[in-house]
């Protein structure tokens, strides 16, 4: 997978320029952002802290059983949008550094910021099962979970060992955490990137269209419900979604982009807040009837493998592509509906891209804590790259759980893309803060009020 610009990047670059022009012309400040319900402080969160290295000691992750992919592997999704920097250079360790000697006898922990059983977890476990044979010195490799994303971020930045034995495995880069007081304003670019495995393009997926929204939902797209107070049938009669309370409290830009899209299309929808909203939680809430939709990356590619009857039977339907890239066909079909931005005007696209683009430039990314020596990061990055690009068994098993083959993006590219997108996110802050101040009280007052 390579990272290259798409239309969202042009929109955000224009956005940055517009913000600068408005500032120069003495434009009015955006609406002040209200203080959402605060994410717990570091001290409060550490009441249940990320396990220390000793406490996190576990048996090595067993090699998962191979899974039947259920058909031809899906085509690789559109590459993630950011400028393409120079290719990753061959690591050059400092004189006297012997990576095999250094890692021999150590335990390397790969820590997922998600709950067991979700996509990030299962993909990480498959990968971890192979890594001991690729990391020089064949250290012991264990896999653990810390589903509190802000806490894992803070722990990795401030307390985790900086010797290559603590590796963060994240669903997205959580770029917005670097702009938040709750996460100490520690920028993601201060971490040492190792690489990324798949594209983060998102889709709005609807579960049991006919049962939840009525007969017309079987062949409709999101914008077909514009201007309606109800979908006209089904058990719910409106689109019901859920996001994590921490994302709501902080006004996560990706969440805001999804809410903004639903609002601008004027469709009947409601959002709910839950402690954890990973893949397993979404499945459970779908089955119970709590919600009927989700806006997520990778599930469009995964579910044809995990639930091969869902799309052919009409139990799941893609209602819209949600950026930042363009969804491609999965193992079973081309996307049912177009990209949501095709139904926005220029102003709406500008706002949507400002929130969705910069924070979703990569997915399933590996990081080392800030301050980890570069030569250690180089050695680990090379090990992951070799494993994920040459090991046919790993590639097959990873593809079986992800629904798409890994497309490695190297250390230098991710590091450069992180810096680039932090600048874009900084330039988009006025737009994000304005929408946060408007959307959170409007749709999430029960979750952000004191």
pLDDT digits (tens, 9 = 90+) for 148-165: 999 999 999 999 999 999
Query: What DSSP letter does each residue of 133-182 carry, written as one string?
Result: TTSTT--EEEEEE---HHHHHHHHHHTS-SSSSEEEEESS--GGGGG-GG
Task: Say if CB 265 and CB 343 are below 8 A apart.
Answer: yes
For residues 131 and 275, membership in a common domain is answered with: no
What's the pLDDT at 402?
A: 87
pLDDT tens for each residue of 390-422: 999 999 999 888 888 898 999 999 999 999 999
- Structural domain tally of the chain? 2
Query: What DSSP letter does each residue of 329-352 carry, written as one string?
Result: --SS---SS-BGGGGS-HHHHHHH
What's the whole-number average pLDDT of the chain? 83
What's the CA angle centered on 424, arms 35 and 31, to 5 degrees? 30
Asked whether residue 260 is domain-assigned, the answer is yes
Asked whether residue 75 is domain-assigned, the answer is yes
CB atoms within 10 A of CB 438: 18
What's the distance, CA 291 to chain centroid? 20
User: Residue-wise over 169-206: b if at least 16 C-beta within 10 A, else e?
Assistant: bbbbbbbbbbbbebbeebbbbebbbbbbbbbbbbbbbb
In which residue are the tokens 């600048």 written? Answer: 423
Q: What is the pTM of this model?
A: 0.70
Task: Compute the residue count for the chain.
Answer: 450
For residues 265 and 400, membership in a common domain is answered with: no
What's the pLDDT at 52?
A: 40
pLDDT tens for each residue of 194-240: 999 987 889 999 999 999 999 999 999 999 999 999 999 999 999 99
Report the CATH number at residue 390.
3.40.190.150
Domain that holds residue 380: 70-199+363-428
Looking at residues 97-123, what average pLDDT do you find?
A: 94
CB atoms within 10 A of CB 313: 9
What's the distance, CA 334 to chain centroid? 22
Looking at residues 129-152, what average pLDDT do you find?
A: 97
Asked whether residue 64 is domain-assigned, the answer is no
What's the pLDDT at 314?
A: 97
What span, in angstroms and rounded, lies between the C-alpha atoms of 105 and 349? 52
For residues 308 and 439, membership in a common domain is answered with: yes
Looking at residues 253-279, what average pLDDT do you find?
A: 95
Peptide bond into 324 cis (omega under 30): yes
For residues 384 and 399, membership in a common domain is answered with: yes
For residues 129 and 208, membership in a common domain is answered with: no
What span, in angstroms and rounded, lies between the C-alpha atoms of 323 and 301? 15
Q: Which carries the bigger pLDDT value, residue 156 or residue 301?
A: 156
């Amino acid at each position: 997978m390579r990272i290259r610009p798409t239309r969202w990047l042009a929109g955000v670059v224009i956005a940055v320029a517009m913000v600068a022009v408005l500032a120069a012309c003495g434009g009015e400040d955006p609406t002040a952002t209200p203080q959402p319900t605060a994410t717990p402080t570091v001290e409060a969160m550490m009441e249940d802290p990320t396990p220390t290295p000793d406490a996190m000691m576990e048996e090595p992750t067993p090699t998962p059983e191979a899974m039947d992919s259920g058909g031809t592997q899906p085509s690789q999704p559109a590459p993630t949008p950011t400028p393409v920097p120079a290719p990753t250079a061959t690591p050059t360790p400092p004189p006297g550094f012997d990576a095999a000697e250094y890692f021999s006898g150590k335990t390397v922990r790969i820590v997922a910021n998600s709950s067991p059983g979700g996509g990030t977890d299962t993909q990480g476990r498959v990968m971890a099962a192979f890594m001991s044979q690729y990391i020089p010195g064949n250290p012991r490799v264990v896999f653990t979970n810390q589903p509190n994303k802000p806490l894992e971020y803070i722990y990795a930045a401030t307390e985790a060992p900086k010797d290559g034995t603590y590796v963060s495995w994240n669903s997205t880069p959580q770029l917005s955490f670097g702009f938040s007081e709750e996460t100490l304003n520690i920028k993601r670019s201060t971490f040492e990137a190792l690489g990324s495995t798949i594209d983060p393009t998102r889709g709005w997926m609807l579960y049991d269209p006919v049962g939840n929204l009525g007969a017309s939902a079987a062949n409709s797209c999101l914008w077909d419900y514009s201007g309606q107070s109800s979908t006209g049938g089904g058990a719910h009669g409106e689109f019901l979604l859920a996001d994590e309370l921490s994302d709501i409290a902080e006004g996560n830009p990706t969440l805001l982009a999804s809410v903004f899209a639903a609002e601008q299309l004027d469709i009947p929808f409601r959002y709910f807040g839950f402690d954890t909203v990973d893949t397993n939680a979404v499945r459970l809430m779908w089955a119970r009837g709590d919600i009927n939709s989700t806006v997520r990356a990778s599930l469009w590619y995964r579910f044809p493998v995990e639930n091969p009857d869902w799309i052919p039977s009409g139990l799941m339907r893609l209602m819209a592509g949600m950026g930042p890239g363009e969804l491609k066909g999965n193992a079973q079909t081309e996307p049912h509906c177009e990209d949501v931005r095709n139904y926005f005007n220029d102003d709406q696209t500008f706002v949507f891209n400002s929130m969705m683009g910069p924070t979703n430039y990569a997915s399933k990314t590996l990081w080392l804590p800030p301050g980890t020596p570069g030569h250690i990061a180089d050695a680990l990055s090379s090990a992951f790259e070799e494993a994920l690009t040459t090991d046919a068994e790993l590639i097959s098993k990873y593809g079986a759980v992800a629904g798409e083959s890994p497309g490695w993006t190297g250390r230098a590219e991710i590091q450069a893309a992180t810096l680039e997108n932090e600048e874009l996110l900084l330039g988009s802050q006025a737009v994000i803060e304005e929408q946060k101040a408007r959307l959170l009280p409007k749709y999430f007052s029960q979750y952000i009020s004191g």
